[in-house]
Structure 1
Amino acid sequence: MQLSVIHETRYRYETPVLQAHHMAYLRPVNSSEQQLHEFSLAIEPEPSAQAWSMDRYGQQRCYFELTEPHEELLVVARSRLSTTALPPAWQGKFPSVVLPDGIPWEAVARAMQYEAGQAFDDAREYAQPSPLAPVQDSFRDYALATAPRRDWSAHQVAAALCHRIYRDFQYKPQATDVSTPPLRALALRAGVCQDFAQVMIAALRSLGLAARYVSGYLLTEPPPGQPRLVGADASHAWVSVYCPQAGWLEFDPTNNCLAGETHVRLAYGRDYGDVAPLRGVIRGGGSHELDVGVTVMPE
């Protein structure tokens, strides 16, 4: 599928910002699932300094600095890319999706533990706790209550968790914010895609499995007979789960499916804190208003 994406972020400040330092993860990754053809990033006011670099996971990020007083910041990222469809057997909603073969999840959990002299596997980092996806008994209990049989693969466990979170949780944008701990979201049984993803990651890590956070976009279809509204889409998040035999596979608990050709990958990290689309430190500004508009369109 050929897609174009426009991601517009606008900050309006109560008082002038005297100095600002920002980091943006807005350039989609190149991977086996997608190929980036064009990308541009426009920033107003014009930065006094701007530089691209690779993060620890090999992904492109943009640092920019503003040294002139400003009351508004506008960042617009435009991308053109192509995505790859899933095999037909993998398409649809859980539990009807056919998953690739894998070794039992307990064997995967043992392989994710650090031992002296073992062969290097960079997936082990994603089995460790992180600030917004910790390892705790509450998450382990939630995962075990999903009835992961001993002979299930890591991806079968992930599919069961994906289906249960979709069934148990309500999508409520006002119930949480970007700093809400996943334990709070688990107690509320409510939140947005970021919360669903981080609850699922924390549950998998609490079983000893490796799971990472995926930041990106989702192509949504307008109601029949209605035009596609510019800026009506939003950023999205889902989960990538590892099995040594089958590799990484991506699960979307908000929509109870595998991530396919309608999903655009921006970046991978341990949790949202690693790959927030735009974050920064400012001096001045007072309170602010934030408007974010995302448009994902098939070409």
Structure 2
Amino acid sequence: MDARAALLTVSHSTVYHYATAVETAQHLATIRPRACQWQEVVEHAEQIEPAPSYLTSRVDGFGNDVLYFSLDTPHDSLRMTTKTTVRLQPRWTNLDPAATPEWESVAQRLRYQAGSVFYPEAEFCFASPNIALSPELERYARASFAAGTPVVAGAIDLMHRLHADFEYAPTATAFDTPATQAFDLRRGVCQDFAQVMIGCLRALGLPARYVSGYLRTEPPAGQPRLIGADASHAWVSVFCPQSGWVDLDPTNDVLADLDHVTLAIGRDYSDVSLLRGMILGGGEHQVDVAVSVREVTTDE
């Protein structure tokens, strides 16, 4: 193994406790980490309790492996557990933010024009269910993108400003809080930090996508513990024609690298939520989540 690589094991448990029995349920689950150029999935195991009566999977339009399953017997809880080992390679060794193209040229290249070349990254320039392209987000973003600013340098400056201006507050927002509302509050969790930053970039015509995943629970010696390490995490990916997708974590003000395990990619949280679907019954519910990400040492 490359001495610079990191071998991480992710353990994730999610339990839904229902106030009354669920008679039947249809679910979609995004619980399988992606294989990427920088991330090799070495092992993956998953378990769903009660056992589904029907289970299948498919790759969605964003390249995520999504599970579809049915439960047709009454149940008062649903437990999903996964254990995954991934090998991560360092991604930014040769990245020079100041040498990336001017942001205006990137926005112009991906702007729709009849008869022009289609670039698939343009899909991530538009509004999405949780992210509106508001004038307020554009004004905030422009402070980081003066004329001629290199696109990655501008995105990193925007990340620095968001990290400084926003407060990490777990109870301030909900899973469906729109980016514009989180922006007004200047508070939220990693999902809100990511969606606000994505909205800022898209408001300038720059492609940006939402990345869900995990953070290493215990950092290497001498490094600070990252915020959000005890649950699923989220960050931002901005497109640069020269460098590809560059991942930035505004919650922690770092580039996503050897501490970040990629789970899924979409336009915003609504595309990659852990569990979606329909249930009959259940009433109110409580969710318990436990996440652990640790490095696998050579003697294990």
Give the structure-1-normalised TM-score: 0.92
RMSD: 1.8
How far 1:5 sits from its partner (Å)?
Answer: 0.6
* Correspondence for 2:248: 251
**Matched-pair contact (CA < 8 Å) for 1:100–1:246:** no
Structure 1 spans left out of the alignment, 5+ residues: 91-97
Q: Which of 186, 192, 197 does residue 194 from structure 2 map onto?
A: 197
Give yes or no for contact 2:55–2:70 (8 Å, CA) kept in 1: yes
The answer to whether the 8 A contact 1:101-1:246 is kept is no
**Percent identity over the alignment?**
45
- Residue 245 of structure 1 and its aligned partner are, at CA, apart by 2.2
Following the alignment from structure 1 to structure 2, what is the Cα–Cα distance between the partners of residues 143 and 270? 19
Paired residue total? 286
Over 3 Å counting, the alpha-carbon distance change for 1:201 and 1:61 in structure 2 is same
Residue 99 of structure 1, CA deviation: 2.2
- Residue number in structure 2 paired with 1:101: 99
Structure 1: distance between partners of 2:285 and 2:45: 26
Aligned residue number for residue 117 of structure 1: 115
Aligned to 2:156, the other structure's residue is in SS state: helix
What is the aligned partner in structure 1 of residue 61 from structure 2?
Answer: 56
Indicate how the Cα distance of structure 1 residues 100 and 144 shifts in structure 2: closer, same or farther if over 3 A, else same.
closer
Say whether the 8 Å CA contact 2:194–2:235 is kept in structure 1: yes
Cα deviation for residue 280 of structure 1 reads 2.1
* Residue in structure 1 matching 2:290, options 267, 276, 293: 293
Matched letter for residue 128 of structure 1: F
- Shift of residue 222, structure 1, vs aligned partner: 7.0
Question: Which residue identity lines up with residue 185 of structure 2 in the other structure?
Answer: L
The letter of the residue matching 1:82 is: R
Query: Compared with structure 1, are the counterparts of its residues 223 and 212 closer, same or farther at alpha carbon in structure 2 (3 Å cutoff)?
Result: closer
For the residue of structure 2 that corresponds to 1:274, the secondary structure is: helix
CA distance in 1, matches of 2:10, 2:243: 30
Residue 221 in structure 1 maps to residue 218 in structure 2: yes
Check if 1:144 corresponds to 2:142. Answer: yes
1:1-299 matches, cutoff 5 A: 1-88=6-93, 98-99=96-97, 101-146=99-144, 148-221=145-218, 233-299=230-296
SS in 1 for 2:16: strand
Conservation of the 8 A alpha-carbon contact between 1:5 and 1:296? yes
Distance in 1 (CA, whole Å) between partners of 2:155 and 2:219 is 30
Residues 218 and 236, structure 1, Cα contact 8 Å, conserved in 2: yes
Deviations 1:121-169 (A, max 9, x none): 11000001101122110100110133x1211122112111100000000
Structure 1 residue 295, shift from structure 2 partner: 0.8
